[in-house]
Structure 1
Amino acid sequence: MEKADRERVIVLGASMAGLLAAHVLADRYADVVVIDRDDLAEDDYGRAHNETRRGVPHGGHLHNLLAAGLLALEDLLPGITEELTSGGAVAGDGTADVRWVVNGTRMPKPRSGLPLLSVSRPHLERRIRRRVRALPDVTFLERTETVELLTTPDRSAVVGVRVLQGDTHRDLTADLVVDATGRRTRTPGWLAELGYPVVEEEQLVVNVGYTTQYYRLSADRTPAEVSIDVGGSAAVPRGALWARIEDGCGVVTGYGVAGEYPPRDTAGFHDFLKSLAATDIYEAVRDQETLGEPLSYRFPANLRRRYERMESFPDGLLVIGDAVCSFNPVYGQGISVSALGATVLRDHVSRPGPVDPRAYLADLAARAVDHVWELTTGADSAFPGVGGEPTEEQLAEYAYLDRLLDAASRDGQLLVAYARVAFLLDPVAALVAPEVQEAIEQALGPADRP
């Protein structure tokens, strides 16, 4: 399709989802306008790892690129992995170069071939934003707020947005508007004002609190792995992740569920790390030089907006990223889901004719959201105080997963099977495949069977 067939698209939000959407759309639209409230030029030059911009208040915390997300990102932006590693990001194998501690047990480290890239959120975002800025048909409108949608007289289609720049309102028309403004999106309210049905929402309250501390790594005291993951559990609802990142730095994010929040001072934070199911991360950082003060953030609930279930939806409007579904950040899925969503968007804008929003939203749910929502809410519901009393079915699922992880501590290939699901490459159902169940039985033996 020639670009002349489609003139302008507006992307609301220069989030990771917005940047990837803009890159995809630049192949199909003659003019791509990205609108954001922040001063992004300031963010492009000199912001430190632990400094966050207004639009990304959690940007200083540890962010993961899961294998599926990294593969999608490389597909969308060929060569980005090499570009990031040349700038200091640390690459490795998703199981061989990670020390996983599950239920207090150190897991084996089999080589899986699953790609791993450890990088700070500011470094990743800057590199991708520079790529998008370099595209000749992309324009950024910074320090600009979107105040409402513009529609046709019958409100059946969105035809642009009204923005506020300083004290001046301005109307921008477009063939398509893509909302990538994140969890606090105004689209549900705008749709209600236009007479559309209320967007159905699903929530699972988790009340996660997390604290992050950066370190200058000392070569003689730095673990060999790219990262260490001491997971929380129902018995110990606290955990932490350590990772090597660019500039010879390391970062630790500690988290607690249902009020088990990490302290906001370095000494208290180190005591928190010592209290986990294993002290591996505490031992890795207790003598390292700290950089800046700890950062803290609170996350109330997993939140999903069911746009795909709406009986009517205006043409000319799409939604992507956290504006559709916001996941517990402990699992590091948000950027990966944004990358997967951008591949769905690419497929739909590559088809001839106007984009069908309902078809896109249904496809987005099926290909980028459903699996992750099931995975995240299932894991969170296992924590005490989350999701109410578990059903018998849930209890059976928790018992099976505990048994699988126990077996995985003895059989590295079972850990790889688990990692493929956690890294969003395989569905949850893969963990109950006959060959997996057989491997569990072989690993545990009769004495360990319930």
Structure 2
Amino acid sequence: MEETAEAAGERHAVVIGGGLAGMLAATALLGHVDAVTVVERDRYPTGHAFRKGVPQARHLHVFLSGGLRALEELLPGTGRAFTDAGARTLYPPRDLVTRTVLGWQHRFDERRHGCLSVTRPVIDGVVRDRVLRTAAGSATRLEVLEATEAVGLTGDAGRVTGVRVRARKGGGGRTGGAAPAERTLHAALVVDASGRTSKAPQWYTELGRPAPRQETVDAGIAYATRMLRPTGPAGAPDMGVNVPGWPGCPRGAVYVPVEDGTWLLTAAGVRGHHPPTDDQGFADFTATIGDPYIHGLLSHVDPVSPVYGFRDTANRRRHFERPGAVPEGFVVLGDANCTFNPVYGQGMSVAALGALALRRTLDSGGGLRPGLSAGGTARGGARLRRRLEHRGRRRPAVCRRPGRPCGPRRAADLLVRTAARAARRRRSRPRRRLPRRPVPDRAAVPPDGPAHGPAHPAAAAPARSQCPADRRGTAGPGGLTVSGAPPVLRVTAPRSAGTD
């Protein structure tokens, strides 16, 4: 059934996907079109609840500083709304400390690059609410079609003119025996923000054009997450703790606070070292990472959720940014464009940056016009293509072989090993004994309250990597070599947040 969703002469845009990327894309279009229709497969839950259409929602989510700035420019006041909803702002290395192969990272007050730690339902709920409020005060009409799926594009190889949609059976739509009827939403612009399950390559074939070239890099990483609630101060240290895997110890874990006094514990590993999802197996796995600190916290917490696993962590980039790769009237944003390994925590920030690039392109070019899309040849299309290409290049380095670092990670690993060799050489040389200096009291108090939790030594001495997973005869925390808990905070004057 053909259906014209726009009146005569009306500029109409359709956004496929009503998740974070889709709602931000709709925000970018406000004021530039007369109407925006968001097509969402699920029905939104009441309040901040998990939904089936976001399979990664149970796991750790962080909004990086660049993404937060982009989000604030698109939706002013969103950062405050996150805080009001219970989100925690972490400033590494003050509020999130990392255990490297040489020991614990030193803590100091550095506030240039904060990140937001909160569960995905809060993020989606806050953003969706603010988008709807912003649209209510805009000249652009915003309509959200819940329990509706996009089944194809209309148009030809040169231009997309709309989207074919239908109600989902069992998703709040029609539930009878007959297949739901299709209808067409005509649009001057279609934005695909449907995420990692985007069907754009198949739709390209239907339009008679080749699918964009796809590049996939899969390091075989899998992770499992459980929500926990501390039973007392011992289970809630004054900072998040990150013990990543490294060559020779391919297992890691991270423990960070989220809203409502809960914490998320995520364990990860490469092929052959994937964390189990049963209660006991998950707990035992945390005893085999490169430091015993996180495992020692488990006796001071109560589980709030089951253990949830996730294995679809391959990096996939579809090269929509190349000239001629996208038909006129079609733009691809977020995970539909470039899917990042979620363990790096960059997906939401890149989605916000992509939506901001769309907004700025519309602002600078006078709104919708020929050549807007990422594959267009006009000046505006080239501008958006360059911005999307820049965002795509900012992906993290990934490893093509498990346990073998590459790119910037390889350079960092070589630097660490060089420093370790230099330290061993210095220790092996005979040295002149110097008078011992008095040790100052370094039990510093963080600016936001007293330190609590397990005892923290004043300074964690660098220790040679001894991965428990590779030791013979190691059974649980009793066989671990304790390298020291994370260090206390050393209070220094914070740098300005505007010196990026």
**TM-score of Structure 1 vs Structure 2, range by shorter chain:** 0.7 to 0.9
Cα deviation digits, residues 272-324 of structure 1 (max 9, x gap): 11111012222233320101211111125211111122535311100000011
Question: Which residue does the alignment assign to 1:233?
Answer: 246
Distance 1:402 1:69, change over 3 A: farther
The correspondence of residues 298-447 of structure 1 with structure 2, limited to 5 A, is 298-350=311-363, 351-352=365-366, 353-354=368-369, 355-358=372-375, 359=382, 362-372=385-395, 375-377=396-398, 380-381=399-400, 383-384=402-403, 398-400=413-415, 403=418
Return the alpha-carbon distance in structure 2 between the equivalents of residues 280 and 397 of structure 1.
Answer: 24
Structure 1 counterpart of 2:67: 69
- With over 3 angstroms needed to count, the CA separation of the structure-2 counterparts of 1:280 and 1:260, relative to structure 1, is same
Q: Deviations over 1:116-174 (max 9, x none)?
A: 321111111111111122222221101001111111xx542111111012312111111
Which is further off, 354-363 or 8-17?
354-363
Instruction: State TM-score, norm by structure 2.
Output: 0.73
Q: Report the aligned-residue RMSD.
A: 2.9
Provide the residue aligned with 2:32 in structure 1. Answer: 28
Q: Is the contact between residue 270 and residue 286 of structure 1 (CA under 8 Å) also seen in structure 2?
A: no
1:130 equivalent in alignment to 2:129: yes
Aligned-residue offset at 1:6 = 6.6
Change (3 A) 1:404 1:13: farther
SS in 1 for 2:309: strand
Alignment partner, residue 150 of structure 1: 154
CA distance in 1, matches of 2:119, 2:85: 11
Question: Contact 1:108–1:410 (CA<8 Å) still a contact in 2?
Answer: no
Instruction: Measure, in 2, the Cα distance between the counterparts of 1:229 and 1:285.
Output: 15
Distance in 1, Cα, partners of 2:102 & 2:409: 22
Counterpart secondary structure, 1:160: strand
Question: Aligned residue for 1:159?
Answer: 161
Q: Deviations over 1:395-440 (max 9, x none)?
A: 6664136558999x9999xxxxxxxxxxxx98xxxxxxxxxxxxxx
SS at match of 2:212: coil
Aligned equivalents of 1:269, 1:145: Cα separation in 2: 36
**% identity of equivalent residues:** 33
Q: Distance in 2 between matches of 1:404 and 1:341?
A: 38
Contiguous gaps of at least 5 residues in structure 1: 413-424, 427-450
Would you tell me which structure has more strand in proportion to its own residues? 1
Partner of residue 41, structure 2: 37
Q: 1:111 to 1:397 in 2, by over 3 A?
A: closer
* Closer, same or farther: CA 205–104 of 1 in aligned 2, 3 Å: same
Structure having the larger proportion of residues in helix: 1
Q: Distance in 2 between matches of 1:385 and 1:285?
A: 30
Contact 1:118/1:226 (8 A) holds in 2? no
CA positional deviation for 1:213: 0.6
CA spacing shift, 1:193–1:168, aligned 2, 3 Å: closer
Alpha carbons of structure 1 residues 336 and 286: separation in structure 2 relative to 1, 3 Å: farther
Equivalent residue for 1:446? Answer: none
Aligned partner of residue 241 in structure 1, secondary structure: strand
- Name the structure 2 match of 1:447: none
> One-letter code of the match for 1:317?
F
Q: How does 1:204-353 map to 2 (within 5 A)?
A: 204-350=217-363, 351-352=365-366, 353=368
Q: Give the 3-state SS of the residue equivalent to 2:196 in structure 1.
A: coil
Q: Tell me the amino acid that sits aligned with residue 58 of structure 2.
A: G
Q: What is the alpha-carbon distance in structure 2 between the residues aligned to residue 345 and residue 58 of structure 1?
A: 25
The answer for unaligned runs of 5 or more in structure 2 is: 1-7, 168-173, 175-179, 376-381, 424-459, 463-486, 488-498
Whole-angstrom distance in 1 between the partners of 2:412 and 2:262: 39
Amino acid at match of 1:84: F
Q: SS of 1:357's equivalent? A: coil
Report the secondary structure of 1:228's partner residue: strand
